[in-house]
Structure 1
Amino acid sequence: MNGGGKVVCVTGASGYIASWIVKLLLLRGYTVKATVRDPRDAKKTKHLLTLEGADERLKLFKADLLEDGSFEQAIEGCDGVFHIASPVSLTATNPQARYYDSNIFWSTTYNAAKLIDPAVNGTLNVLKTCARASSVKRVIVTSSTATILGCNPPFKPNDVVDVTFFTDPSFCSEMKVFESCCDVVQWYALSKTLAEDAAVQFSKENGIDLIVMNPGNVIGPLLQPTLNYSVGVIVDLINGKIPSNSFYYRFMDVRDVSLAHIKAFEIPSANGRYITVDPNITMKDIKKLLNELFPDKNEESELNGMAYKVCVDKMKSELGIEFTPIEATLRDTIASLKEKCLLT
């Protein structure tokens, strides 16, 4: 077992990707100190406490992204930290503002409080604690392809995106709208971009061995009992709805994404950023497969998407990640949704 005797911290452990990272870490023999908002909330922690190995090697800690020092106890004595916790919200406060309306959009104050502050200041809060903990050898931060794909003008079909691409924060704050994109997508992209920038800068200044993971839209079976945003995209498509922010989407199985995080921690030569998407799977591919699986339920509707290529050679060569076939991923996703009564 790769993690035998090692202790790691996973922030935001009850979330979708984080839960899978905890599961795989436990299976690999790690001791996991997992942070959640409320360890007493059984609805949000039961799926963690019932994982194989949890009784012996999982302990929950209460922590808040915006509370200075709240991660101290969880990170103390850890060999590594997986910082996954960050707000993911791509819908406006007014439910009628799901699609772009020039008269309805989030205020800067609201987005700073709900997205930007927790993403940026929460990341720095965790990293400051890591800098004080002499035991921490490497930190893995979960970012997003949103920190890579923000550009104007949009990509062309033959453009190849790789880890050297960076979203321009000014592009996000201008709230540019392309086809089915809505303004709130740019607020999320801005929060992730600013958080990644802050993490990289702080780590350089404080000698932290930082690796950044940049997943796209992550799908696959759920461990948590509730529907998260990225798998909700599949539910929308099955029900004939087009996600309002599907413009840039590329997909990857949550199990592959989670393993990539762990490999990035375990492999000494791992470094920098890793785009974790299957470059060959677009929204149109997902829609086509779902049409075949649900011919009576999935309505015909036009999908607008951005044509571009993605280079994931760095992830494949350095981390050795292979992709789960998308057909298997979708079938496992659907089975999980039905099991948890999240698909009608």
Structure 2
Amino acid sequence: MSIGSGPAAGFRSLEGMDGADSPSSPSAVATTTVCVTGATGYIGSWLVRSLLRRGYNVHATARDTGKASRLLSTFSGNSGLKIFRSDLNEEGSFDEAVKGCLAVFHVAASMEFNVPVEENIEDHVRSKITEPAVRGTLNVLQACSRAGSVKRIVFTSSISTITAKDDKGEWRELVDESSVTPINGVWNTKPRGWVYILSKLLTEEKAFQFAKEKCIDLVSIIPPTVAGPFLTTDVPASVQVLLSPVTGDPNLYPILVSVHSRLGSIPLVHIEDICNAHIFLMEQQGAEGKFLCSVGSSTLPQLTDLLSLEYPYFSSERFAKGFHNAIPPVISSKRLTNLGFKFKYGVKDIIEQSVACCIKNGFLKCPITEGINN
């Protein structure tokens, strides 16, 4: 079944929307309903709030509706919010949530980085993680196909699907949406976080395949490490990974190092910017394919220097050695910015706000130092 006759077919005119995370006045969005899966997660919860502030009606899905209600019902504009219990593992459980929606943001995903089993590990990963992840994504897309109202799906991918090294293991000068991590290479080398990398690669691949077969308009947004403030009660995994040099987390710091070894730096985006980019791609009629969304990158020594400036309890000296001094590849978001998207926050803003929110949350101790906000 075809959903629309072209990119964003059937969308109302959304002229005058400037991309800011603020309430929108145009009546064009007043009766527009969209769906967000994984609405209690880091990106999902912020995206729900951003959409409500713009005047959209939002169908938010979560496995735990009680948790979703406690978090999301506090947002301004929540009269336009409906919460639905949906589970990626249950076929048909998204049907009611997407019914009547013009667009769907598929944000929900497993955050498994590694697995504890050692024997038959590949069979375990296939049967317990990657195959359920693919089925879950197809459950959402099938619900969209059955609904008949959905004109565009925005799929949240990951920078883990991208590599800065070519087939010969040499550094690329420019990294963009075409710099895809080979699936076979992940199975063979099993780098840190390899389970999550595989899950994202396979779900994105199957999503585009299904969308092409069913003539569904699907675009994919590729976030790097997402950080900044958060609305969830728990510190998001991506923020914990970013701050792992400070916390010394033995499981998360190697993931940061793995990102650096694959990309030559740590690309970043602010949580507000990534959510604005989701909405921008939903509204842009000319959007198609994949879009990398990174405002900038820092090498690990540069990142730790920034962390030490914002959090004086932390010393970056021990991180200064052991990383190549060559100019890192450029992580390009030109496909996105050429469409007209503008980033609001830079790398320094992201670090500063991540540290401040984690101090306020109690995840980091509060230094008795002038300049650090409580």
Q: TM-score range by the shorter chain?
A: 0.7 to 0.9
Say whether 1:51 aligns with 2:75.
yes
Once the two structures are superposed, the pairs formed by residues 63-102 of structure 1 within 5 Å of their partners are 63-93=86-116
Deviations 1:151-206 (A, max 9, x none): 654441x52111122221111111254xxxx2xx2221111111111000100110
Gaps of 5+ in 1: 95-103
Residues 319 and 203 from structure 1, CA distance in 2 versus in 1: closer, same or farther, beyond 3 angstroms?
A: farther
1:290, distance to aligned residue in structure 2 (A):
0.7
In structure 2, how many angstroms separate the alpha carbons of the residues matched to 1:338 and 1:163? 35
Give the conservation status (yes or no) of the 8 Å contact 2:307–2:314: no
Q: In the TM superposition, what whole-angstrom CA distance separates every residue of 1:289-342 from its partner, at most 9, and x where no partner exists?
A: 111222333353336479322121111121412240222222221222122222
Kept in 2: contact 1:140–1:212 (CA 8 A): yes
Is contact 1:222–1:337 with CA below 8 Å preserved after alignment?
A: no
Once the two structures are superposed, what CA deviation does each residue of 1:209-235 show, in whole Å capped at 9, x if it has no partner?
000011111111011000221000233
Aligned to 1:243: 253
2: distance between equivalents of 1:253 and 1:165?
22
- Match of 1:18, as an amino acid? G
CA distance in 1, matches of 2:186, 2:166: 9
Of 205, 210, 225, which residue of structure 1 is paired with 2:213? 205
Give the distance between the partners of 2:82 and 2:323, measured in 1 at CA. 44
Matches within 5 A, 1:222-237: 222-237=230-245
Shift of 1:250: 1.2
- Superposition TM-score, scaled by structure 2 size: 0.81
Supply the distance in 1 between the matched residues of 2:189 and 2:146 (Cα, whole angstroms).
38
Distance 2:359 2:178 in 1: 40
Closer, same or farther: CA 57–155 of 1 in aligned 2, 3 Å: farther
The change in CA–CA distance for 1:153 and 1:187 in structure 2 (over 3 A counts) is farther
- Cα distance between partner residues in 2 of 1:301 and 1:14: 36
How does 1:1-344 map onto structure 2 within 5 Å? 1=24, 3-41=29-67, 45-54=69-78, 56-93=79-116, 107-149=121-163, 152-156=167-171, 159-177=173-191, 182=192, 185-240=193-248, 243-246=253-256, 247-248=258-259, 249-298=266-315, 300-302=317-319, 304=323, 307-344=328-365
Q: Which amino acid aligns with 1:308?
A: P
Would the aligned equivalents of 1:8 and 1:32 in 2 still touch at CA under 8 Å?
A: yes
- 1:129-160 Cα offsets, whole Å, 9 max, x none, are 1111111000000011212227654441x521
Overall identity of the aligned pairs, in %: 32
Q: Which has the larger radius of gyration?
A: 2
Q: Distance in 2 between matches of 1:15 and 1:232?
A: 14
* 1:79 and 1:137 in contact (8 A); partners too: yes
Distance 1:153 1:119, change over 3 A: farther
> How many angstroms apart in 2 are the aligned matches of 1:227 and 1:111?
26
Residue identity opposite 1:192 in structure 2: K
Unaligned stretches of 5+ in structure 2?
Answer: 1-23, 260-265, 366-374
What RMSD over aligned residues (CA atoms) do the two structures have, in Å? 2.2
CA distance in 1 between counterparts of 2:148 and 2:215 reads 11
- Cα distance change, pair 118–339 in 1 and its aligned pair in 2 (3 A): farther
Taking the aligned partners of 2:32 and 2:95, their CA distance within structure 1 comes to 18
What residue is the counterpart of 1:98 in the other structure?
none
1:7/1:79 contact within 8 Å kept:
yes
TM-score, length of structure 1 as denominator length? 0.87
Post-superposition CA distance 1:64-122 (Å, at most 9, x none): 1011000000000000000000101224437xxxxxxxxx5881243235531332111
| 2:88 alignment partner, SS class | coil
Q: How many residues align?
A: 325
Residues 282 and 251 of structure 1: CA distance in aligned 2, closer, same or farther (over 3 Å)? farther
SS in 2 for 1:66: coil
Aligned amino acid, residue 203 of structure 1: A
- Distance 1:106-1:268 versus aligned 2 partners, 3 A rule: farther
